[in-house]
Amino acid sequence: MSDAYCTDCKKETELVFDHSAGDTLCSECGLVLESHSIDETSEWRTFANESSNADPNRVGGPTNPLLRDSGLTTVIAKPNGSSGDFLSSSLGRWQNRNSNSERGLIQAFKTIATMSDRLGLVATIKDRANEIFKRLEDQKSSRGRNQDALLAACLYISCRQEDKPRTIKEICSVANGASKKEIGRAKDYIVKTLGLEPGGQSVELGAIHAGDFMRRFCSNLGMSQQAVKAAQEAVKKSEEFDIRRSPISIAAVVIYIITQLSDDKKSLKDISTATGVAEGTIRNSYKDLYPHLSKIAPSWYAKEEDLKNLSSP
């Protein structure tokens, strides 16, 4: 019970909740103060036929438009006898055959969801990866190929298309044993295969920029907000020059420069671990970036004297 104001009694009275009808009544005059209220608390009743089944769920999983029946299947219950008699019957064989038709696709979607969760990706990226794999499966193009590499490549392509790119190394870390080379080959195969798909629905990869990785890499290193802002400005300026290095390498060397100009310096090893770029690659990229250093580093963050005293990695 709880107290509330009753319009008939003209005073605060105790309330009585009628859970079966969903009504809230005044305990003194019986006035219905609220009707058909919805109980939003958890429901723990069991709706299974068998008393041994303690599963309280009474609904299935969410619908999936990529499955033939949207994931809304009907399962015929087994008779009270042995399961062998049921599976040997024509009805049992038909149901078993029908359930196997998309079992591989469902398992693939679960694997993509697991990889997405481990990388902290949003649902739109996971859904697009599912869509890419479904298109590949419809063409029967995934047979005889490394399934883990294909699923990882679908996720990599999805990240690129959603402008939230991840490095091959990051994808490889959750790819169930598939190597970077296998994922790279699978990515090229998917782009080539679906690029020739009738109807013009080609797979286009968005361009990668060094700034796409900057905030995540800086977060991995625990950099200050001011340093992150300086790194983002510097990496944006670097795009104006012809620096023939990969965007990931440019992001790594910009982070090295910005941290060396701050009080909270980061070692080359820590930057290599956070970005996935080899220490030797960072050193070589630094040499290419050094001639443009005075124009890349923000003037509000570093003075010209600080740039001259900057030590190479």
| pLDDT tens column, 111-161 | 999 999 999 999 999 999 999 998 888 887 777 788 999 999 999 999 988
Say if CB 249 and CB 290 are below 8 A apart. no
| pLDDT tens column, 200-251 | 455 666 678 888 889 889 998 999 999 999 999 999 999 888 888 888 999 9
User: What pLDDT score does 185 carry?
Assistant: 92
Q: What pTM value is reported for the model?
A: 0.67
Question: Domains in the chain, please, with CATH?
Answer: 3-34 (no CATH), 72-98 (no CATH), 102-195 (1.10.472.10), 210-309 (1.10.472.10)
Q: What's the rounded mean pLDDT across residues 75-99?
A: 58
Least confident of 142-151, 163-172, 190-199: 190-199
